[in-house]
Amino acid sequence: MKKRRKRALFITFEGPDGAGKTTHAKRLKHDLEAEGYKVLLTREPGGSHFGERVRDILLDRKTGKISPITELLLYESIRAHHVETVIKPSIESGTIVISDRFTDASIAYQGYGRGIPIEIVKTLNSIATSGLVPDVTILIDIKPEVALRGIAKRVQDVIGNSKKNRKGLDRIESAGNAFHHRVRQAYLEMSKDSSGRILCIHRQNKFEETYALIINELSRKFDFFRKVFNN
């Protein structure tokens, strides 16, 4: 491995459930580390011992029905702790931080998906993050019907009306067809209004094709990535 260099950068991955963002985030971490950069890969909800414990409650279908505002406040409590104890200290030390989901997810899922007024979500996001905004966000777009069918190959035809087809999905994944279409539409709208922060990548059939698009877009936006990946 090359000698590690410091290059603080905050990158987030977003997209509907099953879009493949986690796999691509791991690949980007691997490739940056191979070039000698210190990289932290984290996730939301989660990212810390506290966050992971609350994540289990949020995603477990046995938790049952909770109100949208309760759900949002739980996400924001995880985020506040995550930013304070993990993300900000890492950035300040010169680490490249890659997060699998961040504030955009709350706007898409709890705002557009659950129907909480967007300004309330944005206000709570700002409080939880102390105003921290990603340098760039990779949005991997995919139709919900395609994405949810492929989640870990656990279920088939999960968008169908039959409740038995939803077995194996977590509490958010099993929210239903209309919910996931609202989430996807929210992401697409946010990408248009993000002043270039959100880079929308339409997922291809093959992993390498999608990843190549991600690297091309990052290289187009940042000289740093152009130099790292020789684009």
pLDDT of residue 170: 77
Helix (H) or strand (E) holding 186: helix 177-192
Q: Quick: pLDDT tens for 112-166.
A: 999 999 999 999 999 999 999 999 999 999 988 887 776 545 444 444 444 444 4
User: Which one-letter amino acid corresponds to residue 185?
Assistant: Q
Q: List Cβ neighbours of 191 (8 Å cut-off, separation of 6 or more).
A: 139, 198, 199, 200
User: Which one-letter amino acid corresponds to residue 44?
Assistant: E
Whether residue 173 is predicted with pLDDT greater than 80 in this model: the reply is no
First-to-last alpha carbon distance for the chain, in angstroms, is 21
Percentage above 70 pLDDT, the chain: 88
Write the DSSP assignment of 44-86 as a string of letters: SS-SSHHHHHHHHHHH-GGG----HHHHHHHHHHHHHHHIIII
pTM over cut 0.75: yes
CB 139 within 8 A of CB 192: no
Average confidence (pLDDT) over 90-107: 97
pLDDT of residue 28: 98
By CB atoms closer than 10 A (0-12, 13-18, 19+), residue 230 is exposed
Superfamily holding 9-225: P-loop containing nucleotide triphosphate hydrolases (3.40.50.300)
Whether residue 38 is predicted with pLDDT greater than 70 in this model: the reply is yes
Whether residue 186 is predicted with pLDDT greater than 60 in this model: the reply is yes
Write the DSSP assignment of 106-119 as a string of letters: HIIIIIIIT---HH
Token digits for 55?
A: 């994540």
Q: What is the mean pLDDT of the chain?
A: 89
pLDDT of residue 168: 64
